[in-house]
Amino acid sequence: MKKEFSAKKELKKLKTIVECLPDDIKKITEGLVKDAAFLAEQLEHLRNAITEKGWSEEYQNGEKQRGRKPTVEADMYIKAQKSYSSIIKQLTDLMPSVEATSAPGAEILKFLNK
């Protein structure tokens, strides 16, 4: 039995991850978070279609020209995966680094930078 993937669950998960960001940055990330959740759901649907159909299909152009080409779902998956990866990278770049928040003297630096 397949577990149903939900964009709402993904959205909730991503929102809890960006919760540590300052409010002004959180507002900026709202669109990115929504897009990431949407793409995650679409990637799951495309993954299922690729599992059923495969990555490639045969084609024939005219009488003698034949071959294999990527399926439409495979092309869409690759493009969506690139977009999803780019969004996740943007979100992770906004996250405070673990070293910066836990290093000795981090509280002093935080106070001085205010």
Residue that wins the pLDDT comparison between 107 and 14: 14
Which tokens hold the place of 29?
């990330």
Helices (H), 18-71: 23-53
Query: pLDDT digit string (tens) for 17-53?
Result: 888 888 888 888 999 999 999 999 999 999 999 999 9
Beta strands in 1-114 (DSSP E): 56-61, 65-70
Domains in the chain: boundaries: 7-94
Which range among 32-36, 48-52, 90-94, 110-114 shows the weakest confidence by mean pLDDT? Answer: 110-114
Spatial neighbors of 27 by CB under 8 A, at least 6 apart, are none
> Average pLDDT for residues 85-94, to the nearest whole number?
91
Q: How would residue 2 be classed by pLDDT, with cut points 50, 70 and 90?
A: low
Record the pTM. Answer: 0.73
Residue that wins the pLDDT comparison between 89 and 105: 89
Which tokens hold the place of 83?
């977009």
Q: In whole numbers, what is the pLDDT of the chain averaged over residues?
A: 84
At residue 18, the pLDDT reads 85
Contact 46, 80 (CB under 8 A): yes
